Amino acid sequence: ADDMGLGKTVQVLALLESRRQQRAAGDKEIGPSLVIVPKSLVFNWVEEASRFTPEMRVLNYTGLLRRDELDNFDQYDIVVTTYGTLRRDIVDLKERQFDYAILDESQAIKNAGSQAAKAVRLLNARHRLAMTGTPVENHLGELWSLFEFLNPGMLGRSSAFSAMSRTGGGEDNGEWLGVLAQALRPFLLRRTKRQVLTELPEKTEQTLYCEMSSKERKKYDELRDYYRSQLNDRVAQHGLQKSKIHVLEALLRLRQAACHPGLLDSKLTGETSAKLETLFDQLDEIVEEGHKALVFSQFTSLLAIVKDHLDKKKVVYEYLDGRTRKRGERVKRFQEDPDCPLFLISLKASGHGLNLTAADYVFILDPWWNPAV
């Protein structure tokens, strides 16, 4: 349960690499491990494994053809899948023996009655591990579902634990919380940035990969093929020098398509996109942990979609683009108001005069054009 950004994924990969080495040395009891993640994190897990544990054999168990791999699990060290896929395929997956069953962003099963929570409890694994920067989002009762997966029966019946978590043990509130903390301590590892601040680099840069949905990919590929055909014809007729503006237009449209379909067609602003789903997952965790973040985009239309999402979730934020007045007041509120965790900013408006030291996370949704262009 380390704070966000302290390397939970790398730590778990190191553990799984040690299991791979034991397996390679002849330990026949060690088989593949199952890692269940939100859809937006599948690609990140595959990429991180390739980067930090290159000898690890990783299976991306998602997509329409995934079931073709059901009988090939033993050929891999890690099987990465999503909570949604697990729900759909639990009848088959519960029959497989795994070394570790690992939940990333395990707050996804905080509701013990959800299909995801029921599915993970059916898995057959020698070891179980849950990863989250926010083990409790709303109330202590959410811990029951996590520990029913990790150590079934440890916290008793769900109804009794939920009642105790709501009342805090009545008059014995402090004593009950102390007993609970003592019981959980051997099973819980949490370190915050403040605790390890001296060990952290000055700045950590990370690329979050977002894999398009099949619908997004289809639209993007159609747009790419259209512009490729148009540009080839134009360059053949007029030469590259006279076609540069059209090349830039094509790049702009493709960048917009990669962000959100609503940037190309205003009727589609209500749809989702892989990039924004990833952003919203990150922002949810950051806000829950009490951090502050900046979100940059060169497209104000993309920021408008983000604003709409935050408004619906009643998340407090500040906003700044080239038309915003009283910039200083907005900056001051973000800097000083603990209840304002987010600041949405257009890249063009942020070039000068902003001092935003209160933020400890920065998201750049789409980098600005190379100044030379």
Which of the 8 DSSP states describes residue 231? H
Q: Are residues 234 and 284 in the same domain?
A: no
Distance (Å, rounded) from C-alpha 70 to C-alpha 78?
13
Q: Are residues 231 and 131 in the same domain?
A: no
Question: Is residue 373's pLDDT more than 60?
Answer: no
Residue 162 lies in a domain: no
Q: Are residues 307 and 359 in the same domain?
A: yes
Query: Where a domain ends, among 147, 172, 199?
Result: 199
Q: Are residues 13 and 125 in the same domain?
A: yes
Residue 176 lies in a domain: no
Residue 169 lies in a domain: no
Given this model, what pLDDT does residue 17 score?
A: 97
Is the pTM above the cut of 0.85? no
Average pLDDT for residues 28-44, to the nearest whole number? 89
Q: Are residues 69 and 112 in the same domain?
A: yes
Given this model, what pLDDT does residue 353 score?
A: 46
Q: What CATH number is given to the structural domain containing 36?
A: 3.40.50.10810
Question: Residue 348's domain spans which residues?
Answer: 274-364
Contacts of residue 357, defined as CB under 8 A and 6 or more positions apart, other chains included, come to 335
Q: Are residues 253 and 280 in the same domain?
A: no
pLDDT band at 370 (very low <50, low <70, confident <90, very high): low
What's the domain count of the chain? Answer: 3
Question: Is residue 6's pLDDT more than 70?
Answer: yes
pLDDT band at 263 (very low <50, low <70, confident <90, very high): very high
Contact 89, 34 (CB under 8 A): no
Q: Are residues 239 and 98 in the same domain?
A: no
Residue 53: closest CA among 86, 112, 94, 12: 12
Q: Are residues 89 and 235 in the same domain?
A: no
- Three-state secondary structure along 203-230? CCCCCCCCCCCHHHHHHHHHHHHHHHHH
Question: Is residue 21's pLDDT more than 60?
Answer: yes
Q: What CATH number is given to the structural domain containing 327?
A: 3.40.50.300
Q: Are residues 63 and 195 in the same domain?
A: yes
Query: Where a domain ends, among 199, 222, 249?
Result: 199
Distance (Å, rounded) from C-alpha 277 to C-alpha 284?
11
Residue 96: closest CA among 33, 157, 148, 40: 33
Q: Are residues 27 and 120 in the same domain?
A: yes
Residue 29 lies in a domain: yes
Lowest mean pLDDT segment, chosen from 5-19, 100-114, 184-198: 184-198
Residue 107 lies in a domain: yes
Residue 145 lies in a domain: no
Q: Are residues 218 and 91 in the same domain?
A: no
Give the tens place of pLDDT for each residue, 170-207.
555 667 777 777 888 888 888 887 777 666 566 788 89
Residue 327 lies in a domain: yes
Residue 146 lies in a domain: no
Distance (Å, rounded) from C-alpha 292 to C-alpha 345?
14
Query: For a pLDDT cut of 70, what percent of the chain falls above it?
Result: 92
Question: Is residue 151's pLDDT more than 60?
Answer: yes
Q: Are residues 21 and 119 in the same domain?
A: yes
